[in-house]
Chain A
C-alpha cells in the first residue's frame, strides 16, 4: 500500500503527475488551481525524476507547448481554470485533430467571462461537447474526491495514450481546495527515449531513424475526402470509448423511487441529500457519472425504467440534464436543480428541490 497523506485536490494532481512518470508540465497560474504549479515548483521534480515544469507566458503558450511535447511521444500535462481553458480551446482542438495524447486539468470556476473564483460546474458543455471547433471529443473524467483526483491523473494518461486523444480531468474549486486523506501511488519511472521509440515510434516525431518513414504530426488536410476519412477514424475511436471505457457509480439505487444524477462535487452533496431524504422516508438513489464523455447512457436508461423521476443536480443552469434526458427518454420527468456563479448548493436544498420538483409536482 502506498503512502497516506492529507492533501488538497490541487496538490495531489502535482504529486500524481510526478509519480506516474510524467515528462513535463506547462501551465499558467489562475485561481482556484494555482496550487498545482506551486506544488510542482516546491517539489522540484526536475531533480528527482527529470520532469520539466515550466510557467509559460500564457495559457495559449502552455497548450501549444503541450502540443509540441506530446507530438514527440512524451507524457505531458497542463492545468488551468475555466477562463484559461477557453484560451486553450484552439490548441486543444489542434491536439485532438493531430491525434495526440495529453492530460488537461480544469479546476473550474463560475463564469461566463472572468466570472468568479468560486466553484462551478458550468464548463460541462465546454468539456464534453467541444470548447474548440470541429468534430472532436475529449475523454472527460470527473473526480469526486481527492483520492480520485490522484487516481485519475494516471488513468487519464492511460486512456489518452490508448486512443491518442486528449483527456480532461474536470474538477472544481471544491475538490481542488479541499483536503482529504489520499493514498499515493508508487513511482512509475519515466520512459527512456528508446522505450518511447519502441512504443510510439509509429507516430511520434522523436527523430527520424534511417529505416523508418517520416512521421508527420498535423491537423491540416487539404483533401476533403482524406479529411472525411480522418473524421471517420475519430468517430470510430469515440464509439470505442463509449463501448469500452464508460465509468459510473451507483449509490443506494436498488430500491430507489427517485434518482439523483450528479457528478464531481455535486455528487458528494447529493450523497448527503440521499441520506437526509431517506431519513424522511423518501427512497432516493444517486447515479454518479465518472466519465462525462463517454457518458453512462445505458445505466441511466435502465434506472429510468425503475424510478418515478430523475433530478439532475449541477452547479450550473442545466447542462448535463440534456444528456440525462436523452438517455432516460420521455416516460418519466427529468428535472434540473442547480446553483450558479460559484454558489454551492447545500444537501438540504437538494432535498427541498426533490420534494418540490418531483414528489410534490
Chain B
C-alpha cells in the first residue's frame, strides 16, 4: 500500500513538523518514506506545504501532481490543492479561516476543528498534532505506538517532557474528526 499525502497551510502552523513526525512514524513501522517540503521564502504567515509518501515499496517520485489525501489548513492551500486530490481520495480541512469550503463531489471530505480543539487543550502549538490525530482516524496508515516512537525520535531529548501532551492532542483529534461527504 502507498499513501501519497500533501499537508498545506500557513508557515508556523507546524505543517513541516507534522509531516516529519508522520514520516518518522512510518520509519518506526518499517515503511519506506519520503518527505519533500516547499522551501525558500516561506516563513511564519506565508504558505508552507510538504509532500509525505509512506509505502511498503521503493518510492518513485517524491514530487507529485495528485494525492490520495490532502490536509488543508488555509484558503490559499484549498485554492491550490483541492483539485489535486485523486477521485475517491480524501480531503481533510480545518474550517477556521476557510472562506470557500471544498466543492468537489467525487472525494471524501472531512472536517477537523483543530484550531478550536488546540485552544481548548490549552496549548495552540498542539494544533498540528490534533490534525495528525484526525488524519490517522480517516487514514490509519501508522499505529499510535509508532507515532509515539516517531515523536521520541524526531524531538530533541530536551523536549521529551512534551510528548504526553502531544499524544493527548493526537488522541483528541482522532476522536473529533467529522465526516462531511463520503463517496
Specify which chain B residues have a CB less than 8 angstroms from the CB of A178 in the assembled complex: 34-37, 62
Which B residues lie within 8 Å of A173 (CB)? 39
B31: nearest residue on chain A (CB-CB)? A181
**Interface contact A269-B34, CB-CB below 8 Å:** no
Contact B61 A177 (CB under 8 A): no
Q: Report the minimal beta-carbon distance from B35 to chain A, rounded to whole angstroms.
A: 4
Query: Considering the complex, which residues of chain A in the window 3-59 have a beta carbon less than 8 Å from any beta carbon of chain B?
Result: 4, 6, 31-32
Task: Report Cα–Cα, A272/B18, bound state, in Å.
Answer: 25
Taken together as a complex, chains A and B put the C-alpha atoms of A6 and B40 apart, in Å, by 21
Q: Could you mark each residue 168-184 of chain A with 1 if its beta carbon is under 8 Å from any beta carbon of chain B, else 0?
A: 00000110011111000
Contact B27 A174 (CB under 8 A): no
Q: How far is the CA of A188 from the CA of B111 in the complex (A)?
A: 52
Contact with A along B8-26 (1 / 0, CB 8 A): 0000000000001001100
Residue of B nearest to A6 (CB): B27
List the A residue with the shortest CB-CB distance to B19: A179
The contact string, 1 if C-beta is below 8 Å from chain A, for chain B 84-116, is 000000000000000000000000000000000
Q: Does B60 reach chain A (CB closer than 8 Å)? A: yes
- Judging by beta carbons under 8 Å apart, are B40 and A31 in contact? yes
Residue in B27, B39, B64 whose Cβ sees the most chain A Cβ within 10 Å: B39
Report yes or no: B35 in contact with A180, Cβ–Cβ below 8 A.
yes
Interface of B (DSSP majority class): mixed
Flag if B62 contacts A268 (CB, 8 Å): yes
* Docked-complex contact B24 and A117, CB < 8 angstroms: no
Contact A271 B61 (CB under 8 A): yes
Q: Would A269 and B61 count as touching, CB distance under 8 A?
A: yes
1/0 per residue, CB under 8 A from A, across B46-74: the answer is 00000000000001111111100000000
Interface size counted on chain B using CB atoms at 8 A? 22
Contact B23 A179 (CB under 8 A): yes
Contact yes or no, B62 A346, CB < 8 A: no
By a CB distance below 8 angstroms, the chain A residues around B168 are none
Q: For chain A, what secondary structure do more than half of its interface residues adopt (helix, strand, loop), or is it mixed? A: helix
Q: Are A181 and B63 in contact (CB under 8 A)?
A: no
| Cross-chain contact of B64 among A4, A180, A346 (Cβ < 8 A) | A346
For A268, the chain B residues whose CB sits under 8 A away are: 60-63
Task: Give the docked Cα–Cα distance between A31 and B40 (Å).
Answer: 8
B32, B35, B61, B153: the one contacting A179 at CB < 8 Å is: B35
Q: Is B177 an interface residue (CB 8 A)?
A: no
The 8 A CB mask of A151-186 against B (1 = contact, 0 = none) is: 000000000000000000000011001111100000
Number of A-B residue pairs, CB cutoff 8 Å, is 71
Quick one: which of B24, B37, B61 contacts A6, CB cutoff 8 A? B24
| Interface flags, A265-281, vs B, CB<8A=1, else 0 | 10011111111000000
Instruction: Specify which of A31, A118, A178, A270 lies most central, judged by the most chain B CB atoms within 10 Å of its CB.
Output: A178
| Those of A84-142 within 8 Å (CB) of chain B | 117-118
**In the complex, what residue of chain B is closest to A146 when comparing beta carbons?**
B34
A178-B35, A180-B33, A271-B60 known; A348 vs B27 contact (CB < 8 Å): no
- Taking the closest CB of chain A, its distance from the CB of B72, in whole angstroms, is 19
Question: In the bound complex, do residue B65 and residue A347 qualify as a contact, i.e. CB atoms below 8 Å apart?
Answer: yes
Do the beta carbons of A177 and B37 come within 8 Å of each other? yes
Quick check: is A349 within 8 A (CB to CB) of the other chain? yes
Residues of A within 8 A of B20 (CB): 6, 179
* Distance between Cα atoms of A348 and B39 in the complex (Å): 23
Bound: A4/B60 CA distance, A:
20
Tell me the bound Cα distance from A4 to B24 in angstroms.
11
Let me know if B39 and A269 touch, CB within 8 A: no
For residue B61, which residues in chain A have a CB less than 8 angstroms away from its CB? 268-273, 347
Contact A177 B39 (CB under 8 A): yes
- Say whether A344 contacts B33, CB under 8 Å: no
Say whether A269 contacts B36, CB under 8 Å. no
Residues in A neighbouring B23, C-beta threshold 8 A: 6, 179
Contacts of B36 in A (CB 8 A): 174, 177-179
Task: Give bound CA distance, A24 to B157, whole Å.
Answer: 30
A275 to B4, CA, bound (A): 15
Q: Which of A346-361 contact B (CB under 8 A)?
A: 346-349
Q: Are A349 and B35 in contact (CB under 8 A)?
A: no
**Whole-angstrom distance from the CB of A213 to the nearest CB of chain B?**
51
Check B60–A348 contact: CB distance below 8 A: no
Q: Which residues of A are at the interface with B, using a C-beta cutoff of 8 A?
A: 4, 6, 31-32, 117-118, 173-174, 177-181, 265, 268-275, 344, 346-349
- 15 A-B pairs within 8 Å (CB atoms) are namely A6-B33, A6-B154, A31-B39, A32-B39, A179-B33, A179-B34, A179-B35, A180-B34, A180-B59, A268-B63, A269-B61, A271-B60, A272-B61, A344-B63, A347-B65
Chain B residues at the A interface, C-beta cutoff of 8 Å: 20, 23-24, 27, 32-37, 39-40, 59-66, 153-154
